[in-house]
């Protein structure tokens, strides 16, 4: 069974997924849609038999697709997902699901009426270290978690615009929010603060905050705090989280997992590519017709979007937000 894939977007994430998919047996990249015909054709020329389009609906009308990758900025999500649900075409969405929950909420409603294979690019879930940690935590009581996403500001105009990207928590630190959900369960309250300290003084078009902190109370009783900034110099970053449990201090980064008990220290280094793992899971799920291989479905990822959006509301209202309301 050959799986025919279409892509929307011609940026770095489309390139990454396309390169991975080309390595898989029985997968063909047949079409790509870009913001211009020139961009689409330039992207398509890299892959044998791929055709470029500048219109999403024209691509769907012309091609018989088994799955579609949506690798577009936050503000571009919503209508394409609804169209794919209508056409019964499984889709993979790069996070986040949107700028706020407004567009994703409609997609979730559509999927409830017409279930479909979906996946969202929270790729860290597929790491060996995260899978190991999820099993390990059954024997630990987590008390406190501190998470972080510290780096520089991406050089793309839409990212710097709050109305188009939703800000750094929504666009980047959402990965940490999602991992804590995956490992610790759902939350009941969030309280966030944000500020503009540096970047809006350097670039006139910056409307996003460049420092922020989010406190979370999980239903289990765990307290967590996630901090983020994009004021660091290019090439300098800190990403990960630390869990304080009744028997260990557990430190995770995208490269490794370290477990310290006071007497021993165990380090686990990831060797597999989580992007490959998530793409393989999506392809296998298309073949089987179920979401059984997927660690982050659209509906599941929506709960992460709910948390980051609640943080936005918390900043605007200067108050904690109860997620049970």
Residues 172-225: pLDDT tens digits? 999 999 999 999 999 999 999 999 999 999 999 999 999 999 999 999 999 999
Residue appearing with tokens 């503000």 = 75
Share of the chain above pLDDT 70, in %: 100
pLDDT given at position 276: 98
105 contacts 42 by C-beta, under 8 angstroms: no
pLDDT of 152: 98
- Check whether 89 has a pLDDT greater than 90: yes
In the CATH scheme, what is the code of domain 124-271+306-322? 3.30.360.10
Residue 200 in contact with residue 207, Cβ under 8 Å? yes
Per-residue pLDDT at 93 exceeds 90: yes
184 and 222 Cβ atoms separated by less than 8 Å:
yes
Residues of the chain with CATH 3.40.50.720: 3-122+275-294
Integer CA distances (angstroms), 37 to 8, 54, 62, 103, 156, in order: 12, 5, 15, 26, 21
**Beta carbons of 175 and 265 less than 8 angstroms apart:** no
Which CATH fold would you assign to the domain 3-122+275-294?
Answer: Rossmann fold (3.40.50)
For 163-255, where are the E strands, in sequence order? 187-195, 211-218, 223-229, 238-245, 249-252
Q: Is the pLDDT of residue 242 over 90?
A: yes
pTM here? 0.97
pLDDT at residue 1 above 90?
A: no
Mean pLDDT calculated for residue range 25-54: 97
Residues 106-158: tens digit of each pLDDT: 999 999 999 999 999 999 999 999 999 999 999 999 999 999 999 999 999 99
CATH 3.30.360.10 domain position(s) in the chain: 124-271+306-322
State residue 233's pLDDT score: 98
CB burial of 98-122 (b: ≥16 within 10 Å; e: otherwise) equals bbbbebbbbbbebbeeeebbbbbbb
pLDDT tens digit string along 38-47? 999 999 999 9
Collapsed DSSP state (helix, strand, coil) of residue 187: strand
pLDDT digits (tens, 9 = 90+) for 253-311: 999 999 999 999 999 999 999 999 999 999 999 999 999 999 999 999 999 999 999 99
Q: How confident is residue 56, by pLDDT bands cut at 50, 70 and 90?
A: very high
Burial class of residue 197 (count of CB atoms within 10 Å of its CB; 0-12, 13-18, 19+): exposed
Mean pLDDT, residues 83-106 taken together: 99
């Amino acid at each position: 069974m050959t799986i025919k894939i279409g892509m929307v977007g011609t940026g770095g994430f489309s390139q990454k997924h396309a390169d991975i998919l080309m390595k898989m047996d029985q997968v063909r990249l047949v079409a790509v849609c870009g913001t211009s015909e020139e961009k689409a054709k330039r992207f398509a020329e890299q892959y044998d038999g791929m055709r470029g389009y500048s219109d999403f609906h024209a691509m769907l009308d012309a091609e018989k697709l088994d799955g579609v990758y949506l690798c577009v900025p936050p503000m571009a999500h919503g209508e394409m997902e609804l169209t794919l649900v209508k056409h019964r075409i499984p889709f993979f969405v790069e996070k986040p699901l949107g700028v706020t929950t407004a567009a994703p909420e409609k997609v979730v409603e559509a999927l409830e009426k017409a279930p479909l294979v979906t996946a969202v690019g929270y790729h860290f879930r597929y790491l060996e270290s995260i899978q190991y940690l999820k099993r390990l935590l059954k024997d630990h009581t987590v008390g406190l978690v501190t998470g972080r996403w510290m780096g520089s500001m991406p050089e793309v105009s839409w990212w710097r615009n709050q109305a188009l990207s939703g800000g750094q928590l929504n666009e980047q630190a959402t990965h940490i929010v999602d991992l804590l959900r995956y490992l610790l369960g759902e939350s009941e309250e969030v309280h966030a603060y944000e500020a503009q300290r540096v970047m809006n003084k350097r670039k006139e078009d910056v409307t996003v905050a460049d420092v922020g902190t989010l406190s979370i109370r999980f239903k289990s009783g765990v307290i967590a705090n996630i901090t983020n900034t994009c004021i660091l110099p290019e090439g300098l970053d800190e990403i990960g989280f630390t869990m304080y449990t009744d028997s260990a201090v557990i430190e995770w980064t995208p490269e490794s997992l370290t477990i310290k008990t006071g007497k021993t220290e165990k380090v686990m280094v990831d060797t597999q590519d989580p992007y490959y793992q998530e793409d393989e899971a999506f392809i296998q799920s298309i073949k089987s017709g179920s979401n059984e291989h997927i660690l982050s479905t659209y509906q599941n990822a929506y709960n992460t979007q709910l948390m980051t959006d609640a943080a936005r509301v918390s900043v605007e209202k200067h108050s904690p937000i109860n997620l049970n309301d």
